[in-house]
Structure 1
Amino acid sequence: MPTLQPTRRAMLRGTFAALALPWMESLQPLAAGEPVAASKPPLRLGICYFPNGVHPPSWYPKATGAGFDLPFSLEPLAPVRDDVLVFSGLDKAASHRGDGHAAKTANVLTGFQVSLGSELDAGGPSIDQAVAAVHAGRTPLRSLELGLDPLYPGDSHHLAHHLISWQAPKRPVMRETDPMRAWRRLNGSGETGPASRAAATRRVSLLDDVLADAKGLTPRLGYADKMKLGEYLDSVRSVEAELAFIQRADPREWTPTTKPEPGQPPPANPTHAQQVKAMLDLMVLAFWTDATRVATFMFASDNSHRNFGAIIPGADGSHHEFSHYNGEKNRAGIFKQIVRWQVEHYVYLIQRLAAIKEGGGRLLDHSVLLFGSGFSDGNSHQANNLPFILAGRGGGSIATGRHLRYLDGTPLCNLYLAIGKQMGMTAEKFGDSTGPLPALGGGEPPGAPAPSPKPPESKAKTEDKPIPAESKPKPQESKALPTSGPVKAATKP
């Protein structure tokens, strides 16, 4: 039976594992003269990527400002509309040429032109990794990358469909696609006791030998094998960073003020919907326990062939196939329901974070959650007017509850630059940015139309068939997943 040990960072200890817990009043502080935790929570950055774009008429609101309407695919935002910003007019110029998918996926978070030559080159670091670099060493995990589609070996063109996080132009960060492995990694990230430090010292010496041997192989490998080796070495580097963290005193200046209940491992042989919820729950737990402050989740790789037939009636085909609806009403109807299903899970994540109290407000208030795709119209592969939503208050710097329509061609990287600066980046430029995106904290974008005073009623068209209730995420029913406590209705701080 697990027992709580009064260490600097509280742990639930079992026979073979330890679960890190956030700060609790009964354990503060444990030693005379020990500094009290800082009162200001850190900011977190979460990014959820979905593939194949959207059905534009079912996505973009017609009204702007606080009175924005919710087209069919955005109707699930209704209960959280006061906590989101919906964007129009954001562009990624580097994706206006090149492959329909690869050139729009690999650079979705970098903003640079993608090179699909002998080596895959995304042009620069992605915004998640640029922010992670600012916070490196302050949490057990530098960042957390999650996804569901496995990464199969292939050439640079093939790999570009699967990668969105980059530490450097040619150095992708591989995602974890198994919820159970991700859960184990997360739950083992915070051990700091003497025994673990001794074990860490032994493991570091072994890793040094492994790295030396592995690096010696590089000149003799082909491109695909170099990618495999790179993934392996990146994993080793992550382990090294985690071991270095636990070998020293906990450097975090913030300790959470609420206690998450121990999560359960993901279910065996989960459905696709269960897998998605499990990954989103892991993101919540990671932010709640301050295991990391940066996380990404890919609903699927681009050009995804995920079949939604078990979720949406009539969806007997791949996601990518339905994204090319070619004017066919039935196919378009299924495609926009797939997009709506993904929005519902984004709302689930928002509500989970909104239900957690932190620092006099909510965890959501100290977070920035992006949700977007690499191109807009799934049928035509356009990369202008990208479908992006932001949730969270960014520590009070973001005024949510609005639809912001920017002038056509406004760089998406302007949004990234603004977020990066809020999270400690000092760079004056990111990707193809021209400056931080204006109006995030209030007001209207330059040249924007007058905001609408009242949201019109949003109604689904007759051809829009609702998604079965059993396929929708239910925040209050997540006992079998790695949750961090019951979900309550979102309340403003």
Structure 2
Amino acid sequence: MFDRRLLFQAFGGALTLPTLESVASAEQSTETAPTRLLVVANPFGAHPEHFFPAEFGKDFRFPKTLRSLQWLRDRISVLSHTDHNMKSGHGREVAFLSGVLPETSGAFPEKNMSIDQVVARRTGGQTRFDSVHACLERSIRMSWNANGVDIKPFTDAKRMYDHLFMNLTTEQRLERKELLQRNGSVLDAVRDQFAGVRKRASKNDQVRLDLYANSLRELESNLVGRQQWVDKDKPEFDLSGYFNGTEITIESRYNAVFDMVAYAFQTDLTRVATIGFSPELKYTDVKGVTRGYHACTHNGKNEDTVSELVAIEAFQVAQLSRCLKKLDEIPEPHAEGSMLDHTVVLFGSGMGYGGTHSNRNLPILVAGGGFKHCGHVDTRDASGDNMPLCNLFVTLLQRFGLEYDQFNQSTGAFTFEDYLG
């Protein structure tokens, strides 16, 4: 028999793919500029009249929600009329980065694996952390691994700091090495048992076992990587300035999160990061906001409530803008341009507009990444049908050298150049 208890003992009770440290160090990087991915998302979409510009093309006027991004005009694309072709309502937002709900994922080659994790699978072997995830307060569940398990983000900035920048003590490093050695021994035993089980398995069982085989290979590779990183110090980052004084605001907390991600990119700790804005966040320290976020989405078109909702959404985009300015101020090593020019940035939501629970016309923008950006575009086809958001995902995956011509519900690839006037 295949002894699953061995895996339970070593890897916490399930054969999933945890975020493990990888093989190559930043010092071993070649002189080829890396491409990074930053995804920023909220749970309840955006008020459409204040997110989507009134004009199409590159000369659009920035609406209130996007006004903080005016400095980025030539390096931004706002996509109108994209969706995942799902019925409207809560619960569909978990499909933002995959286009697939967990309960229907079996029909798709990548299941409901999110694009950030597809990219992390490609880039993770070159950095200390495959990917980094943060969503202060309760998660909005947007990152899913190859086994269909949602990746838990850091919900506290200080714990995120410990993970990224706190070095182990000498005693902790010895304990970590011993743990890795034990886990490696368990993995060896599991692999030997697995080989025997697969020989006797039926064709249907072999398909299921192939998923375990992929996980075993990645676990083995990443365990080797963790061993190489144990004795290497992490870069230094000063978190104290974000939490001085008696009042800690939502702005200071997210400043810390975004700045840690920017520095993790700069020091090549990771090349993939996702940042979410939780549905439980309190925005009452944002100017003009007196109500809860969810309550503001159910505004009944009341002007005062809509104004508060737009203030919240503008704050979210302003946090993104601040981070992108930091990346744009850092020259890209070994290449022309800034780090932003080599970072694919995706902002959006798996819900179109919370006021109607609509999952059509998702609020999507792409920045940086070296694309030939096209301003505000109407992605509907000649029949007036919305473009599958997965078409954009195909293009983003191709930017990382991944040979995709289809991803889940895509019908093709989104081509930026097609919308240039």
Whether TM-score is above 0.5 comes out as yes
1:66 and 2:58 aligned:
yes
> Matched residues in 2 for 1:57 and 1:185: separation?
40
1:129 counterpart = 2:104:
no
- Are 2:66 and 1:77 equivalent residues in the alignment? no
Matches within 5 A, 1:410-421: 410-421=387-398
Find the aligned partners of 1:242 and 1:275 in 2 and give their Cα distance: 31
2: CA distance between counterparts of 1:47 and 1:390? 10
Query: How far, CA to CA, are the matches of 1:443 and 1:209 in structure 2?
Result: 53
Aligned match of 1:263: 238
Partner letter of residue 340 of structure 1?
A
* Other-structure match for 2:342: 366
Deviation at 1:164, TM superposition (A): 0.7
Matched with 1:375 is 351
Q: Residues 195, 366 of structure 1: CA spacing in aligned structure 2 closer, same or farther, 3 A cutoff?
A: farther
- 1:390 is aligned to 366
User: Could you say which residue in structure 2 is the equivalent of 1:96?
Assistant: 87
Once the two structures are TM-superposed, the CA of residue 205 in structure 1 deviates from its matched residue by 3.5
Q: Summarize the Cα distance change of 1:411–1:116 in structure 2 as closer, same or farther, 3 Å threshold.
A: closer
Structure 2 Cα separation of the partners of residues 102 and 174 of structure 1: 17
**TM-score normalized with structure 1 length:** 0.65
Q: Normalised by the size of structure 2, how large is the TM-score?
A: 0.75
Structure 1 CA distance, aligned partners of 2:171 and 2:280? 46
- Deviation of residue 208 (structure 1)? 6.3
Name the counterpart of 1:176.
154
Deviation at 1:168, TM superposition (A): 2.8
* Partner residue, 2:327: 353
Q: Deviations over 1:422-452 (max 9, x none)?
A: 113223321201111112xx2417xxxxx5x
Q: Which one of 86, 99, 107 corresponds to residue 111 of structure 1?
A: 99
Structure 2: 5+ residue runs without aligned partners? 1-24, 189-216
Letter in 2 for 1:336: V
Letter of the structure 2 residue corresponding to residue 88 of structure 1: S
Q: Is the 8 A contact 2:161 2:239 kept in 1?
A: no
Partner of 2:32, secondary structure, is coil
What SS does the corresponding residue of 2:290 show, helix, strand or coil?
Answer: coil
Q: Distance in 2 between matches of 1:263 and 1:242?
A: 29
Deviation at 1:294, TM superposition (A): 0.8
Counting only pairs closer than 5 Å after superposition, residues 468-483 of structure 1 correspond to structure 2 as: none
Partner of residue 475, structure 1: none
Deviations 1:394-432 (A, max 9, x none): 2x3x01362222114101011111101111322332120
Structure 1 residue runs without a partner (length 5+): 1-20, 24-34, 152-161, 213-236, 251-259, 446-450, 452-493
Secondary structure at 2:407 match in 1: coil
1:390–1:168 Cα change, 3 Å: same
- Given residue 247 of structure 1, which amino acid in structure 2 is its aligned partner? Q
Q: Which has the higher contact order (CA 8 A, sep 6+)?
A: 2
**Does 1:244 pair with 2:218?**
no
Q: Tell me how far 1:145 sits from its aligned partner.
A: 1.0
Partner of 2:11: none
Aligned CA distance change for structure 1 residues 41 and 330 (closer, same or farther; 3 Å) = same
Contact in 1 for aligned 2:82/2:362 (Cα 8 Å): yes
Which residue of structure 2 lines up, in the alignment, with residue 32 of structure 1? none
Equivalent-residue separation in structure 2 for 1:249 and 1:369 (angstroms)? 28
2:358 maps to a residue whose letter is Q
Please state how far the C-alpha of 1:113 moved relative to its aligned partner. 3.1
- Aligned-residue CA RMSD (Å): 3.3
CA distance, structure 1, for counterparts of residue 413 and residue 345 of structure 2 = 17
Identical positions, percent: 28
AA at the equivalent of 2:293: H
Amino acid at match of 1:96: K
- Over 3 Å counting, the alpha-carbon distance change for 1:197 and 1:351 in structure 2 is same
Letter in 2 for 1:399: K
SS at match of 1:403: strand
The corresponding residue for 1:144 is: 132
Report if the CA contact (8 A) 1:68-1:403 is conserved. yes
CA shift, 1:207, in A, is 4.8
Partners of 1:239 and 1:200 lie apart in 2 by 16
Q: What is the Cα deviation at residue 111 of structure 1?
A: 0.2
Residue 327 of structure 1 corresponds to: 301
1:354 shift after superposition: 0.3
CA-to-aligned-CA distance 1:265-314 (integer Å, 9 cap, x gap): 552773211111111111101111111111101111xxx2433222132x
Measured against aligned partners, the alpha-carbon deviations of 1:345-384 in whole angstroms (never above 9, x if no partner) come to 1111110100111133210011001111112222111112
Query: Are the structure 2 counterparts of residues 238 and 298 from structure 1 closer, same or farther at C-alpha, using a change threshold of 3 Å?
Result: farther
Provide the C-alpha distance between the structure 2 equivalents of 1:138 and 1:22, rounded to a whole number of angstroms: 7
Q: State whether structure 2 residue 310 is matched by structure 1 residue 336.
A: yes
Provide, for residues 26-83 of structure 1, a one-character-per-residue CA deviation record: whole Å limited to 9, x for no partner. Answer: xxxxxxxxx8x52221100010011211111111112222111111111111122222
Conserved 8 A contact 2:59-2:375: yes
Q: 1:263 to 1:57 in 2, by over 3 A?
A: same
Give the aligned partner of residue 267 of structure 2: 289
Residue 18 of structure 1 corresponds to none
1:309 and 2:254 equivalent? no
User: Displacement of 1:179 after TM fit?
Assistant: 1.1
Report the alpha carbon displacement of residue 387 of structure 1 after superposing the two structures with TM: 0.5
